[in-house]
Amino acid sequence: MGWNGLYSSAFERVRSSIGGVGTVLLAYNTNIDAIKYLDREDLEARIERAGVKEVLPYSEELPKRIESIQQLLGSILWSIRRGKAAELFVESCSTRFYMKRWGWDELRMGGQVGIMANLLGGVYGVPVIAHVPQLSKLQAGLFKDGPIYVPKAESGKINLVHPRDFEADEENCIHYIYEFPRGFRVFEFEAPRENRFIGSADDYNPNVVVRQEFEEHFEEIAEKAELAIISGLQALTEENYRGPFETIRAHLEVLEERGIPAHLEFAFTPDETVRKEILGLLGKFWSVGLNEVELASIIEVMGEKAIAERLLAHDPVDPVAVTEAMIKLAEKTGVRRIHFHTYGYYLALTNYRGEFVRDALLFAALAAAAKAKLGDVGSIDDIVKAMDVPVNEKARGIEEALAKEYGMEGGIAEISGYQLSFVPTKIVAKPRSTVGIGDTISSSAFVGEFALR
Ligand code: 8BR
Ligand code: 8BR
Ligand code: GLC
C-alpha cells in the first residue's frame, strides 16, 4: 500500500475507535491568544517612532524578557529575519498597555492545554479535564462545546463542570501573537518562512501557577483520568522553577502510582537549568513530543554536542541523527516513547511494537494538515479535507536514508531493541496560521495510539 492508502486506512480506524478513549487530564498552560497579522507600513512606522538604533540590537540577540517597547519591536524583527518562532515574557506594564492598544485581529484559544482541550474534547469527543490557571469570562468563552471539564471544589468535594459553567471572574492571561507570512518584508529584511513572535502579558502561565483545586485535590482529579498530557514548563527560569517542579513531581508520582501514562509536550525551553531538570523528570513520563530545535537543545544538556549540531545542520533534518539522538535520550531516561516532528516528516521511537504507532502518526499528520489548511478544525470529518494535500515530496529521500541505514520497510524498522516508526507528512503550501500545529500533532498521535491499541 502506498502512503495515501495508509493515510486513509489509519484515519478510518482512528475515527471509529477514538470514542473508546477514556478521560485525558491536561495540565498546566491555558491562555488567550490575541493574534495580530503584521502589516509592513505599520511595523516600520512603529520602529521608527521607537528609534531604529534602539530597536535593531534586539533583532540580533533576543533579550531575556521584554522590558521596553524597543525590546518588543526588536524581538518581533528577530523572528521575522530568521523565520523563527520565539516567545518571551513581557514584564513591563507600559509595554503590555502598548500591545493592548496596538490591538489584534482575532482572539483564539491558546496554550497547549487550551488548544488540546478544544481538539480532543471539542472535536474528537474525548473527555478532558483541563487546568486553566485563570478562568476569565473571555477565557471560558473560548472553550468549545463538548466533554471539556474543569474541577470545581464545592464543600470540600471536586465536581467537574464545563469551563463556561465554572462562573469565575478571574484575570485575562493574554499572549500577543505577531504572525507574518513567508516573504514578509520590513526595511531590508525578508522572512524566509512564515512564523510568529509571542509576547506573553501573563503572570500565571509563565510561572506555572497551579490552581488550588489541583494543589489540594490532585488525587481525586487523577482518579477520573486514564491518560495525561503535561505541558507549559517552557517559560520557567532558574529563578522560579523550584516551587512548580515540586508540585509537578508530586503530580507525576500520583499518575505513576495509578498507572496513568503521561505525555510531556516539550516546548522550547530557553533556560538551561530548567532543561536539565526536565531531563531528570523524563523517566516519569511514558512519552515525550518535540521538534528538531527542542531535541537538539535537550541532547546538548546531555553533553552530546556533536549530535546536537548534526540535528541543526540540514534541512530537512537528517533522520539518522534524529534516530541516534532519540536512542540516547531513551537510554538515558527510560522514557518509553519519543515522538519527533519536523517540517516534512515524523519519527517515533518506542520500546514496544506494532503498526498502530505508525498509524497514529499518520492520523496526527492528517490532523495537522487540516489545522494548517482550515485554521480551525471543526469536527473530526474536517480532517478528511486534508486528504487532498499532497504527501511531502522531500520525504522520499528521508525514507530512502532510513531504508538504507536501518532496513526500514513500510515506515517501520527495528533498532537496538526499539521500534522506529516513520511517516512523511502532508505540507499545506499556504497555511492559515502556524500557532498550535505542534500541539495538534502531539496530542492526536498520543491519543490516537491509545485509540488503536
Ligand atoms: P522553528 O523553525 O521550528 O520555528 O524554530 C524556531 C525555534 O526557536 C523554535 O523551536 C522555538 O521553539 C525557538 N524559540 C522559542 Br519558541 N523561544 C525562543 C527564545 N526565547 N529564544 C530562542 N529561540 C526560541
Ligand atoms: P512546532 O511549532 O512544535 O515546531 O510544530 C510545528 C510543526 O507543524 C512542524 O514540525 C511541522 O511538522 C508542522 N507544520 C508546519 Br510548521 N507548517 C505546516 C504546514 N504548512 N502544513 C503541515 N504541517 C505543518
Ligand atoms: C505556547 C504559547 C501559547 C500558544 C501555544 C501554541 O503555549 O504560550 O500562546 O497558544 O504555545 O502552541
> In this predicted model, what pLDDT tens digit does every residue of 267-312 receive, in sequence order?
999 999 999 999 999 999 999 999 999 999 999 999 999 999 999 9
Range(s) of the chain covered by CATH 3.30.1110.20: 33-109+173-200
Class of residue 41 by CB neighbours under 10 A (exposed 0-12, middle 13-18, buried 19+): exposed
Instruction: Quote the pLDDT of residue 432.
Output: 84
Q: Which CATH code for domain 33-109+173-200? A: 3.30.1110.20
For 150-166, letters b (16+ CB in 10 Å) and e give bbbeeeeebebebbbeb
Does residue 297 line the site of ligand 3, with CB under 6 A? Answer: no
CATH code of the domain occupying 3-31+110-142+205-452: 3.40.1190.20
Say if ligand 1 is within 6 A of residue 374 CB. Answer: no
Per-residue pLDDT of 84-94, as tens digits, reads 999 999 999 99
From atom 19 of ligand 1, which residue's Cα is the shortest distance away? 86
CA of 320 to the centre of ligand 2 (A): 20
Residue 343 clears pLDDT 80, i.e. is over it: yes
Ligand 1: does its nearest atom lie under 6 Å from the Cβ of 84? Answer: yes
The residues of the chain that CATH labels 3.40.1190.20 are: 3-31+110-142+205-452
Q: Is the dihedral of CA 222, 225, 226, 231 positive or negative?
A: negative
Check whether 156 has a pLDDT greater than 90: no
Statement: residue 430 has pLDDT above 90: no
Q: Is the CB of 195 under 6 A from ligand 1?
A: yes
Ligand 2 is surrounded, with C-beta below 6 A, by 291, 341-343, 368-369, 372, 425, 427-428, 431, 434, 437-438, 441
Pocket test for ligand 2, best of 437, 441, 443, 444 (most atoms within 8 A of CB): 437
Neighbours of 187 (CB within 10 A): 16
Per the prediction, the chain carries an average pLDDT of 96
Q: How far is the CA of 195 from the centre of ligand 2 (A)?
A: 10
Q: Which three cell numbers stand for residue 44?
A: 516600520
Give me the DSSP letters along 65-110: SB-SHHHHHHHHHHHHHHT--EEEEB--HHHHHHHHHH--SEEEEE
pLDDT band at 77 (very low <50, low <70, confident <90, very high): very high
Residue 375 DSSP code: S
298 lines ligand 1 (CB under 6 A): no
Confidence of residue 71 (pLDDT cuts 50, 70, 90): very high
Question: 131 C-alpha vs ligand 3 centroid, how far in Å?
Answer: 15
401 CA from centroid of ligand 3 (Å): 33
CA pair distance 318, 43, nearest whole angstrom:
37
Q: 3-class DSSP state for residue 172?
A: coil
Percent of the chain's residues with pLDDT above 70: 100
pLDDT, tens only, 172-230:
999 999 999 999 999 999 999 999 999 999 999 999 999 999 999 999 999 999 999 99
Q: Is 442 touching ligand 3 by the criterion CB < 6 Å?
A: no
The predicted pLDDT at position 126 comes to 98
Nearest CA to ligand 3 atom 6: 436
437 lines ligand 1 (CB under 6 A): no
Catalytic residue list contains 271: no
Name the grid cell of 211. Answer: 490552581
Q: How many CB atoms lie within 10 A of CB 77?
A: 21
Find out whether 353 and 418 touch, Cβ atoms under 8 Å.
Answer: no
| CB 235 near ligand 3, within 6 Å | no
Atom of ligand 3 nearest to the CA of 205: 8
Is pLDDT at 315 greater than 90 in this prediction?
A: no
Set of cell numbers at residue 56: 535593531
Q: What is the DSSP letter of 273?
A: H
| Nearest ligand to the C-alpha atom of residue 200 | 3
In tens, the pLDDT along 43-60 reads 999 999 999 999 999 999
Among 182, 292, 343, 441, name the best residue to mutate to test ligand 2's pocket (greatest count of ligand atoms within 8 A of Cβ).
343
φ, ψ of residue 125 to 5 degrees: the values are 75, 20
